[in-house]
Structure 1
Amino acid sequence: MPPDVAPSMIARIVPVDACAGERARAYLDTLTKPPGSLGKLEALAVQLSSITGELMPRVTPPGVLVFAADHGVAAEGVSAFPQAVTAQMVANFASGGAAINVFARQIDAHVEIVDVGVASNLTMHGVTHAKVRQGTANMALENAMQPEEAQAAIEVGVAAVERARQAGAKCLIVGEMGIANTTASSAMLAVLAGTPVAQAVGAGTGINSVQQAHKVAVIERAIQARQADPDDPLDVLAKLGGLEIAAMVGAYLAAAVHRLPAVVDGFIATVAALVACRLCPAVRGYLVFGHRSEEPGHATALEALDAQPLLALGMRLGEGSGAALAFPLLQAAAGMLNEMATFADAGVSDNNSQ
């Protein structure tokens, strides 16, 4: 257990309740359907029971947490958009106009926008101000963060989950916003998974092939210069990561503490999940992977976590958008356990009847 990451919190994380999952699995076979006929939805229902320890789990209402921060490496020209877009998108979130706001309204989710490291001072209403610093340093030139800054950002994520839980959230959808955060995530993944940088790098916000080659070169230079320890996820996070990525790590850890399902979004969210699971392997059981991003590194990150996402819609937006779109499947899985009739209740003969 890393001594400087909320050890009391990590000590409270226990593996999911396998016995509760088995009870759910047996109960599913008493419902009015052929055994296993609802496929992956049944596996999801079993996981939700394992997470909550309940035969009849609840996942509503969901809470959406979007962490925003800037990245110093944006100065290297690795993104199709200027750094100012991070703050502009935070304003869009706060006014309810972004994709995640639309999708959150469809599932009746409360959205909290958290400024954990935007490079400018934000004053708009509807944003939680928890800024650790004004963006990370340029990882091509120096460590992105100091270890204590990474820890502070993790704690921001923990605190956001506490607020969501106190507001009644039964499931968490975690998203992010930060120009150049695919660069940071690709660098982290290359080190944590031992994979070539080119395999982890995609178009991000829409760069062309020449820009993509430049992005690979910048990341390779940063990895060489920073010498992050692949066996120390916090070292990788601090030297190559982002403040919003660290906050997401904290959110996943806190979700596991409180036995809340956490729906993981795309590439950046999955890299954060990989860090959380490296810190505490028991976290893995609490994670539901919402969708498969078009970012090429996402496949590598998913493989590292032995994860099979629920959806594959060709998306690469971030914000928690894919996780929000996957949430109705969690509702359906929980509803199946809570509302479907058993063979006995319905007076229907099952395949064991004589």
Structure 2
Amino acid sequence: MADYEFGVQVVESVMSQIVIAFISAMLLCAVLLAVLYYLLPRHFLAAQKNARSNHTIPARQIGGLALVPTILILLGVFHSLTGLSGSTVVLLEFSGWLLWLTGLLDDRYDISVRLRLSVQLLGAVLGVAALGNDFQLFTFLPFWLEFCLLVFVMLVWINVTNFMDGLDLMTVSGLGIPVLWIAGFASLGLAGMSAGYLAALIAGAIIGFAFFNRHPAKVFLGDSGSLPLGMLSCFALLLFAQETSIWLALLLPLYYVLDASTTIILRLREGENIFEAHSRHAYQKAKRAGRSVWAVIGSVALLNAALGAAVFIWLLKPELWVELSVCFAGLAVASALLLKFRAS
């Protein structure tokens, strides 16, 4: 009985810490963004409507100026609660601020693709190094080869996060919900504190950003937000993958994975430069075909809610047949939504 009561107290303590992290990030991001929105000149980092745009009014790319500092500042202040080592936090902070500054310069001055990718690669290397020497997902691979593979994965995810921030609330529904699930799992003792606390900070900041990104969006992340957010969310997903299963970690943000990967394949087949700006994602096609913003992001949000619930079932009953059922069902539903958007 004493052991049970102690276990309950531990879960309640973890839950309260994660809830506090989430609320703190949400409030700080919302307040910072409100201050920036009303104090900065209206033309500062304003993205005008063009042929590729999916917004109807000029949107300011200042979301990252509040969202990323919120996450990194709170991560630094409360790092002792995360379970992450000091060296890990230092590497995450360095990578995050480096990507933030690079993204800000790109938003402001449109720096070269080569320089942008070089800094992103360095940020990915630092992010993977932050996982530590004892981190391993693929036991059959030598450490150096897995390190290179994870750097490539993080580099891709940094760009995927950037590509997918092209519609009101898409980052909120497409990435915010998956990381919120990780925070929820950790609060219930079904995932590690490190992944859960970082996910709570990310999810809270994204919700704070949502107040200004809701339709019709006044603010988007910009590169200063999407690049560091990609690195940090990938780090949290990799931790979650190590604690549970790589397939479940892929399942949570599956819509992002499918939309981005199929878009890249389609563009490569048609000989396009995949590093150039475009508007060919499935969700963008659905919006241009006449679907409302709320219909598109609502569909993605419902999908991610269902995928998270499926992962929750597996965590409660971690058996192979359950994992296979969950993964196949999730892939089928996510693919159906993607095809529906592309057929619009």
TM-score bin (small chain): 0.3 to 0.5
* Larger strand percent: 1
Larger radius of gyration: 1
* Larger helix percent: 2
Q: What TM-score do the two structures reach when normalised by structure 2?
A: 0.33
Q: What TM-score do the two structures reach when normalised by structure 1?
A: 0.33
